[in-house]
Amino acid sequence: MLRIGWNPEGGDPVAAYTKVREVLRHSSETMTRLRTLEFFSLRPESFDTLDAYLTRVCALRQQLRRDGVENHVKTEIYTVL
């Protein structure tokens, strides 16, 4: 830990832990927003095959669910179609 700049003798370890949590939470929220935007803006025409399109839709859907974003089934169907 000393090589990455953390000095156990100086500074509050709770403050460092809190800062790391803030950065990770912000990063997670940003990624969730980007995934949501991509999910709702995907168009089949931009993919070479239907299989590639559906693979990307399913991957984004799983990532959003993992992040705690649950969309209504009708919303997901309209997006895919």
- Give tens-digit pLDDT for 11-63: 676 777 777 777 666 667 788 888 888 888 888 899 999 899 889 988 888 88
Report the SS3 class of residue 40.
Answer: helix
Positive or negative: CA dihedral 27, 29, 30, 36: positive
pTM over 0.85: no
